[in-house]
Structure 1
Amino acid sequence: MELSLRERQKERRRSEIYEAAIALFKECGFENTTATEIARASGVSRGTFFNYYPYKEAVLLDYGSLVVEQLQAEAGRRLDEGQPPLQVLYDIWSLLADENTRERDLFPPLAYEVMNPNPERAQTAYRALRLSGVVELILRPLHDAGELRSDLSLARMSNLIADTYLLVALRWSAYGTGRSLHDELRLSLDLLLTGALKRQGTGS
C-alpha cells in the first residue's frame, strides 16, 4: 500500500533524526550525546525528537533492528543456496562480530536495554533485537531432520544461543579480553552446540 504524503514526511524525518543521532554517537560517544544535540543536528526541536524517539536508547534499537534484519536476510540466502546450517550459523556470528567490533561503543548501551529494569523498555528492546529469530531460522533444518536434542524446544535453544551472544559481546565490548570478539564467540558457540546436538545412541 502506498504511503500518504504525511507518512512519507514522517518516515523521512525519522530517518534524518536517526542518521544525525548515529553520527553523533560515533563522533562524540553515546553517553556524551544529548537529545538536544541530536535535535539540533537533525534540524528539529527537542520535543520533536521525543515524538519520534521517547528516549535516547530507542535510536539504538532502530540500529540493532536493522542489523538483525540484514543478518536474517543473509542467513536465508545462504540456506537457500544449500549451505550447511551450522556453517551458516558460524558465518552469521562472524558477520555480527565484525559489526560489533566496528561499532564497539554502540553495543553496550544497546545490550543494556534488553536488561533494562523498566519492563516496558526491556520488552521493546527484546522485540527490536530478535536475534533468536535468526538463530531459529538457521537451526530449523537441523530440527526438522531430527538432528537436535529433543528435550529442548527449538525456540528455547535459539533463545539461549542468542542470549549467550549478547552477554559475551557485551562483556567483550565493555571490558575487553585477550581474544578477539570472533574468537570469544566461536568458543562460546562451540560449547553451546556441543550441548545442542543430539548424542549418538540416545534420544536426547
Structure 2
Amino acid sequence: MDSSSLRERQKERRRARIYSVALDLFKRGGFQATTATDIARASNVSRGTFFNYYPYKEAVLLDYGSEVMDRLRDQAEARLAAGTPPLTVLYEVWDQLAEENGRERDLFPPLAYEVMNPNPERARTAYQALPLSKVIELILRPLHQAGMIRTDLSLQRISNLIADTYLMVALRWSAYGTDRTLQEETRLALNLLLEGALRREGPPPAPRTP
C-alpha cells in the first residue's frame, strides 16, 4: 500500500470516528448543547481538525441524513424489484422515515433547517445530501409510466411537493408536537397529496401497519 492510500484510509477512519462520536453526543446531550469543542475533545482531535472534516456542526447531521436516505432508497429498490406495489412501498418508506425522525426528535429540526438555510451553498449541500424527492420519484415512476398519475404536473414536481410536505409536517411536529404520532401526521398528509396526484376517484387506501 502506498503512502497516499494509507493517508486516505487514516482520514476515512478519523472522519468516521468524529461522526460516530458527534452523533452519540448529540443523542445524549442534545444537538444545541453539544459544541464543536466537545466533539473534538471526545474524538481525541483538535478543534481545527474537526472543522477540516466538517466545516460546521450541522454538516455532521447531513452525513446522518444521507445514511438514512441511502437505506430508504435501497429498501425501495429491493421492494419494487420484488413486485411490491409502488403505493405500498411508498407508505413503507414514509412510515420508516417518520419512525426514524420520531425516535431522533432532537436531530430533525436542525437537519431540516439546513435545507432552508439562507446561505445558498449550505442549502444546496443539504438538498443534495437529503434526496427524499428522488426516492419518492423512484417509487412513483412505475405509476407514472402506467398513466396512473396526472400528467399536467411532472413526476419530478409531484415528488418535490410530497417531499417538501413531509419536511414541513415533520418539522412542525418536532417543534410543537400534536395529539397524533409523527407517523399519523405524515400519513394524513400523504393521503391528501396522493388524492390530488393519482388519476382516480377518492383517496388511496393506506396499507395497514402490521
Normalising by structure 2, we get a TM-score of 0.93
Give the CA deviation at 1:100: 0.7
The code of the aligned residue for 2:160 comes to: N
The code of the aligned residue for 1:90 comes to: Y
Question: Does residue 120 of structure 1 match 2:121?
Answer: yes
The code of the aligned residue for 1:137 comes to: L
Output one character per residue of 1:53-100: Cα deviation in whole Å (capped at 9) or x when no partner: 000000000000000000000011110110110011011111111101
The code of the aligned residue for 1:60 comes to: L
Question: Does residue 105 of structure 1 match 2:106?
Answer: yes
Output one character per residue of 1:124-151: Cα deviation in whole Å (capped at 9) or x when no partner: 0000000011101100000111111000
Equivalent position of 2:152 in the other structure: 151
Give the CA deviation at 1:5: 1.4
Equivalent position of 2:88 in the other structure: 87
Output one character per residue of 1:140-186: Cα deviation in whole Å (capped at 9) or x when no partner: 00011111100010111111101101110111111101100111011
The code of the aligned residue for 2:101 comes to: N
In structure 1, the gaps of 5 or more residues are none
The code of the aligned residue for 2:175 comes to: A
Output one character per residue of 1:100-137: Cα deviation in whole Å (capped at 9) or x when no partner: 11101000000000001111100100000000111011
Distance 1:54 1:36 in 2: 13
Give the CA deviation at 1:199: 4.1
Equivalent position of 2:134 in the other structure: 133
The code of the aligned residue for 1:53 comes to: Y
Distance 1:26 1:183 in 2: 24
The code of the aligned residue for 1:6 comes to: R
Equivalent position of 2:143 in the other structure: 142
The code of the aligned residue for 1:176 comes to: G
Give the CA deviation at 1:198: 1.4
Equivalent position of 1:193 in the other structure: 194
Distance 1:80 1:8 in 2: 34
The code of the aligned residue for 2:170 comes to: A
Distance 2:43 2:63 in 1: 16
2:21 alignment partner, SS class: helix
1:198 alignment partner, SS class: coil
* 1:3-152 equivalences in 2 (<5 Å): 4-152=5-153
Equivalent position of 1:166 in the other structure: 167
> Structure 1 stretches (4+) deviating beyond 2 angstroms?
none
Distance 1:48 1:19 in 2: 15
1:4 alignment partner, SS class: helix
In structure 2, the gaps of 5 or more residues are 202-210
C-alpha RMSD of matched pairs (Å): 1.0
The code of the aligned residue for 2:22 comes to: A
Distance 2:147 2:81 in 1: 19
Distance 1:30 1:51 in 2: 20
Distance 2:164 2:66 in 1: 16
Q: How many residues align?
A: 198
Normalising by structure 1, we get a TM-score of 0.95
Output one character per residue of 1:15-58: Cα deviation in whole Å (capped at 9) or x when no partner: 00000100000111000000000000001000000000000000
Equivalent position of 2:176 in the other structure: 175
2:26 alignment partner, SS class: helix
